[in-house]
Amino acid sequence: MSKPPAISDRHRRTRNDHAQETAEDYVEAIDEVNGASGKCRVVDLARQFDVSHVTVTKVVARLKREGLVTSEPYGPLELTEAGRQLAAKSRRQHEVVYQFLLAIGVSEKVAAIDTEGIEHHVSKQTLDCFKRLTEQLQGK
């Protein structure tokens, strides 16, 4: 039996996961809004996340520094290639977790809510297991 990771390692991973969570949520939302209406503005994100314009502006500034988003002053938000890749990865993780929760009998409503937290904190290994078990449970 292997030794569990040190407590400091587990907490470090959780802090890193939290730092990435907002970026994943925002790039996924920008991608969705752009796909639905052709353009995404700060006000769209403020409405979607039920936060202030200032909060969104600060997050978008961070996403720009990280090379995930571009925009001109007062212009719509656009994802960079890195932003599009992160949005696609987030969407795939979301779907794997959601389908797993449904496969084990969680209601659609609860699965939708729980997926929003789990998807950001699950390792690739765990996601692979979720996917494999989902396929087994669905008889695929």
Residue 11: pLDDT band (50, 70, 90) is confident
Strand ranges for the chain from DSSP E: 69-70, 78-79
How many CB atoms neighbour CB 110 within 10 A?
A: 11
Mean pLDDT of the chain: 90
Kindly report, residue by residue over 72-131, the tens digit of the pLDDT: 888 999 999 999 999 999 999 999 999 999 999 999 999 999 998 898 888 899 999 999
Q: Encode burial over 32-49: b for 16+ CB neighbours within 10 A, e otherwise.
A: ebbeeeeebbbebbbebe
Q: What pLDDT is attached to residue 78? A: 96
Burial class (CB in 10 A: 0-12, 13-18, 19+), 88: middle
pLDDT above 70: residue 8: no
Mean of the pLDDT values across residues 19-29? 89
Whether 80 and 67 have beta carbons less than 8 Å apart is answered as yes
Choose which CATH entry (3.30.450.20, 3.30.360.10, 1.10.10.10, 1.10.600.10) describes domain 7-137: 1.10.10.10
Residue 66 banded pLDDT, cuts 50, 70, 90: very high
Percent of the chain with pLDDT over 90: 74
Q: What pLDDT was estimated at residue 121?
A: 82
pLDDT score recorded for residue 138: 87
Per-residue pLDDT at 122: 87
Beta bridge partners of 79: 69
Domain residue limits, the chain: 7-137
